[in-house]
Each structure stands twice: as structure tokens, then as C-alpha cells.
Amino acid sequence: MRTTIALLLAGLIAVCAGTTSRAADAAKLALVIGNAKYPDNEFVLNDAANDAQAVADELKRDGFVVDRQTNLTGDAMRQALDRFYARIERGAVALIFFDGFGIQSNRQTYLLPVDAQIWVEPDVSRDGFSLDAILAEMNTRGAAIKIALIDASRRNPFERRFRRYSAGLAPAIAPSNSLVLYSSALGAVAPTGKTDHSLFVAELLREMRAPSISAEQALTNTKNGVVAATNREQVPWLSSSLTTEFSFAGLVARPPDNATADPAPTKPAPQKPVCEVPQAEPTPSADDLARDPVIADLSRKIAANANDAVSRYKRGQVYAIKRAHTLAMQDFDAVIRRDPRDAQALNNRCWTRAATGDLQGALADCNLALQLDPGLSDAFDSRGLVNLKLGRTTEAIKDYTDAIQRNPRSSSSLFGRGIATRRSGGDGASNIALAKSMDPNIAKEFAGYGVTECVP
């Protein structure tokens, strides 16, 4: 994928002194991508496909020339971007909408094609497409206004292969005269499920259709609408450096110079009960596991080469993520027999044993992993879970704190420390709230380990 250094904005429509420029007559181009069918994900993202179609239809009504694409592989996504760049003229309005999976790595947000093969963090930049680079290329090609609408703040099947927490998306380094909107806050993920349409896109479409408001105000209203509808559990992120007047649905009604807008009222967040017991995800059936394409591919590699420790380790990770703990243990056992000093495998076995209740075995694995690699933050996080389940709250708080010092964005460590603090007689609410803002499903994940916010 080509990367480009962002250049200074060029080709703005000429303006008179003391007035704001307008983009009403500029060419308007859009690339709309809905990636719904990721083979590594356990279900199709129907909302991604449906929302991409709805956004494309709305943009066409607003006068955009739209290229709508679905389920793009890496090669196809690169080709679609190249076609998009080639159509951008000086002074144009260029917009990209992406719905699918995204990952942040090295403080950049990457949009993922459906055939991404990600097992370790360096794979992200190899297979993903940097949003920063996309915006920079739009600017270099002469776009006067750059808009990126990104609905990719989802917990995804790739990220948990190389980190124990969901890092959400990173802030975009956008050129001047840009608008960027994410469906959730930086570093956070939005609740996921098998839905036909997302709340974020529903709010976005309603505001895009509103006449006589600026594009910036439409996106601000979208953010406020999602915040109100979710009682502040989902807070989209908006970045604007727009200096040119532009409206999706028509001319902007300019307020008098002395007019000041009242802030949009927001509903107060309801008081939640101290103790919540979410329903843990069910363990998939043997048939579900057998149909999983990633497991099937790794199993074929292992069948062809019984000494393929890498594939066996990866399959163990997938089994563990899918809560097939017995099968995960078998794979991790085999990897550790071949290399008893594999700290990562020991950590994964510790985590799996902790989830199943083999706490003394888990503690031994985590202790050995940390002897072999004293800086392994995931092992501190895993041992924190073990100590928490053993009732050793002081030790759990220390382990989680050590993990957070190494990984401040670890929602797992923050949530665990909050629970341990609460069980030791402290508050812990701020840690729990921060963890939930980063990962709305974290309480459900811990419920799968047998840990809830209820104080015993």
C-alpha cells in the first residue's frame, strides 16, 4: 500500500477577504466500502453491508458520484482506492465511508480487508490500509474537503491474537480542511451483535438529510444523537479542521454574526446498579468449531506436519478465544512439551486454566512465564485473574497495576483491578467505568471467567 506524506492544502476555491469559502459547486466523489464477510469472524456483519448501501444511496441523492464496494480483499481494496484517487480533481469534495473491522497499531488506524491475515502486530501494517495515508493521498490529489466516516470501532477476531485488550481506533492525523468521524471514542469499541443496521449510521443518515446545516454540524449532531440514545455508553469521536462551507443536503443557513447556539441538551445518565451479572457467551458446539474456516485451515496444516508448533499455537489461541478451553489446553500442552521455555504459550495456558478453574496450575504457568520474561504484561494480567479468583485481592491489584503500567489501554487489567479493589473494600468504580468505556463487552468477558461485579 502506498503511503504519502500529507502536503499543505492546495486548490481551495478563491474567497473574498473576510468571508468563508464555499464548496457548493465542487465535484463530489465518494468511496463507500462495506466489509461484512470476514472468514475469521464467527458471523457476517450484516449491518456493515446494509449500512454501506444506505450511505451510498444517500450520498447519491446529495449529488456525490459514488463507488460502492463490498467484501473487498486486500488487492481489491487497493484497486478501489487507486480508482478513487484518480478521480479526484482540484477543489473536489472527497469522502470515504468504511464499515467493517479496524485496528490501531503504532498510533495509526488501519482499515482491514476481508482476507487480512493477522497473527502478530506487524501484520496489521502489512495487510491493513492506514487511514492517515488515505487522507493524505486525498489531499495530495487536490481535494479541497476531505471527509472520512469510519464505522469500524468493533471488537474483532484479529486483535486478541496479539493483545489481551481492545485498543479501539487511534486519532487520525488529517490534513487541513478535513472532517473525520468514528463511531466510538478513541481507544474504545462499540457494542457488537447480529444487527441489520447500526445506531451510528442511523443517526448519521438522519443528520445528513437535514437541510440547511453544515456538514460539521451534521456530524456533531450525529455524535450527540448516539450519546443520548446510548446514555453516554457510546461516544463517537469527531475531528474537524473544516474552513470551507459545505452541507450534505443543501446550502448552509448562516446564523447572524451575534448568534450563539445553545448546546444540545443531553439526557442524564441513569444510575446503574452496583452489581451487574451479564450473561456469559455460550461455548460453541463441536459443529460450530468444525465449520470455522480459520480452525479448519490450521488443522489441515497440523495434519500435514505434526511438528508445526506455530499452527498449533495459533489454533490454541483461536480455541481459547472461542471458549473451547479443553481443545485450547491440548494445543498449548503440545507447544510447551516441544519448548518448555515458551513464555507466551505458558501465559496462554495460564489464562485458559484460570478460565476453567484450574487455579493452582494456572498460577504455576504464570509464575514460570514471568520468570522467563519478567516484562510480559499479558502474564501479569493473566496472573491478576488467577489471584482474583483465588480471593487474593492484594496480589491481584498488584499484578493488574504492573500490567497497566506496561499497557495503560488494557481494558482487562483495568476492569480486573476495579473488581479486586471493590472486593478489598475500596471503590474501584473509576477503573470499571474506564474499562467499560474502552470495551463495552468486558463485563460479559469476565462473566465467562466466573467473575462479576458482585461483591461476594
Residue 329 has pLDDT above 80, yes or no: yes
Does residue 425 lie within any of the structural domains? yes
- Per DSSP bridges, beta strands 129-130 and 102-105 are unpaired
Q: How many percent of the chain have pLDDT more than 70?
A: 85
Answer with the one of 192, 227, 245 that is the final residue of a domain.
245
Q: Name the grid cell of 352.
A: 485458559
Q: What is the pLDDT of residue 456?
A: 61
As to burial, measured by CB atoms within 10 angstroms (0-12 exposed, 13-18 middle, 19+ buried), residue 243 is middle
Instruction: Identify whether residues 211 and 318 lie together within a single domain.
Output: no
Domain CATH code at residue 334: 1.25.40.10
Instruction: Identify whether residues 96 and 227 lie together within a single domain.
Output: yes
Q: What is the pLDDT of residue 191?
A: 67
Instruction: Identify whether residues 193 and 316 lie together within a single domain.
Output: no
As to burial, measured by CB atoms within 10 angstroms (0-12 exposed, 13-18 middle, 19+ buried), residue 315 is buried
Q: What is the pLDDT of residue 287?
A: 81
Residue 9 has pLDDT above 80, yes or no: no
Q: What is the pLDDT of residue 392?
A: 93
Instruction: Identify whether residues 105 and 222 lie together within a single domain.
Output: yes
Q: List % helix, strand, coil for the chain (3-state, nearest 5).
A: 45, 10, 45
pLDDT band at 264 (very low <50, low <70, confident <90, very high): very low
Q: What is the pLDDT of residue 305?
A: 93
Q: Going by C-beta distance under 8 Å and a sequence separation of 6 or more, which residues neighbour residue 77?
A: 33, 69, 111, 113, 129
> For residue 423, what are the domain limits?
286-448
Closest CA to 402 of 373, 423, 429, 425: 373
304-312: average pLDDT: 90
Does residue 8 lie within any of the structural domains? no
211-230: average pLDDT: 88
CA distances from 352 to 76, 176, 416 (A): 38, 48, 16
Instruction: Identify whether residues 240 and 290 lie together within a single domain.
Output: no
Does residue 271 lie within any of the structural domains? no
Domain CATH code at residue 221: 3.40.50.1460
Does residue 88 lie within any of the structural domains? yes
Question: Over the chain, what is the mean pLDDT?
Answer: 83
Helix H or strand E encompassing 21: strand 21-22
Q: Name the grid cell of 110.
A: 488501519
Residue 66 has pLDDT above 90, yes or no: yes
Does residue 55 lie within any of the structural domains? yes
Residue 147 has pLDDT above 90, yes or no: yes
Q: Name the grid cell of 214.
A: 453544515
CA distance 121 to 75: 20
Q: How many domains does the chain have?
A: 2
Answer with the one of 190, 224, 245 that is the final residue of a domain.
245
Q: What is the chain's alpha carbon radius of gyration, rounded to the nearest angstrom? A: 24
Q: Name the grid cell of 208.
A: 445528513
Does residue 342 lie within any of the structural domains? yes
Instruction: Identify whether residues 305 and 376 lie together within a single domain.
Output: yes
Instruction: Identify whether residues 65 and 177 lie together within a single domain.
Output: yes
* Cβ-contact 145, 179 below 8 angstroms: yes
Closest CA to 173 of 72, 104, 97: 104
Instruction: Identify whether residues 216 and 296 lie together within a single domain.
Output: no
CA distance 40 to 157: 6
Q: What is the pLDDT of residue 278?
A: 61
Whole-model pTM: value is 0.62
The type of residue at 166 is: S
Helix H or strand E encompassing 120: none
Residue 7 has pLDDT above 50, yes or no: no
Which residues partner with 178 through β-bridges? Answer: 146
Query: Which residue, chain included where needed, has cell 481489491?
Result: 76
CA distance 104 to 106: 7
* Cβ-contact 136, 42 below 8 angstroms: no
* Cβ-contact 112, 103 below 8 angstroms: yes
Which range has the worst mean pLDDT, 227-231, 353-357, 379-383?
227-231
Instruction: Report helix, strand or coil for 129.
Output: strand
What is the end-to-end Cα distance of the chain in Å, rounded? 53
Q: What is the pLDDT of residue 251?
A: 54
What is the greatest pairwise CA distance in the chain? 75
Which range has the worst mean pLDDT, 117-131, 171-185, 373-387, 431-445?
431-445
Q: What angle do CA 348, 351, 356 make, to 5 degrees?
A: 125
Q: What is the pLDDT of residue 230?
A: 79
Instruction: Identify whether residues 105 and 217 lie together within a single domain.
Output: yes
For residue range 155-187, list pLDDT tens digits in order: 888 887 877 667 778 888 888 899 999 998 887
Instruction: Identify whether residues 170 and 25 lie together within a single domain.
Output: yes
Query: Which residue, chain included where needed, has cell 448501501?
Result: 53
pLDDT band at 276 (very low <50, low <70, confident <90, very high): low
pLDDT band at 193 (very low <50, low <70, confident <90, very high): low
